[in-house]
Amino acid sequence: MEDIKKGLQTVVNKAWDDASFKTELVADPVSAIESATGLNVPGDVKIVVNDQTDEDVIYLNIPPKPDFDNMELTDEQLEQVAGGEIFATTFAVTFVVSVQTTISAASAINDNNKKKGKKGW
């Protein structure tokens, strides 16, 4: 897992620095990722790359809806859930990160609009 994280960070850094690589990454993510990192992407994995470098746009990624009805927990996780630990922590972290990201993006757009003399958020 650590190799994948490092590899994906390498890909992002390269896309920031190399416009032609970024174009290739958006057009053919699997090939670009494999060539930049040496990692093999399994054939059943679909990768979608969205260029989110436009500072005038707020990007919202919708994650998969959790399937709590079919979720199986370990005994340790069940103990944490019984105490309210997992749900509260996961919800709080997810909510804070989502809100903070949206606020930061909106603030950046507002600052950019002010610099351009536009009224905005």
Q: Are residues 45 and 59 in the same domain?
A: no
Q: Are residues 75 and 88 in the same domain?
A: yes
**Residue written as tokens 């399994």?**
42
Question: How many independent structural domains does the chain possess?
Answer: 2
Q: Are residues 102 and 71 in the same domain?
A: yes
* Domain extent for 45: 1-53
pLDDT in tens, 12-33: 999 999 999 999 999 999 999 9
Q: Are residues 58 and 100 in the same domain?
A: yes
- Whether residue 112 contacts residue 55, with contact meaning beta carbons closer than 8 Å, is answered with yes
- Count of other CB atoms within 10 angstroms of residue 117: 6
Count, in order, helices (H) and strands (E) of the chain.
5, 0
- Give pTM, 2 decimals: 0.53
Q: Are residues 36 and 71 in the same domain?
A: no
For 52, residues 6+ apart whose C-beta sits below 8 A from its C-beta are: 59
Q: Are residues 58 and 40 in the same domain?
A: no
pLDDT in tens, 58-82: 888 888 888 878 878 788 877 776 7
Q: Are residues 80 and 43 in the same domain?
A: no
- Count of other CB atoms within 10 angstroms of residue 11: 21
pLDDT in tens, 79-118: 776 766 555 445 444 544 555 555 555 555 556 666 666 6
The C-alpha atoms of residue 82 and residue 78 are separated, in whole angstroms, by: 6
Residue 121 is predicted with a pLDDT of 47
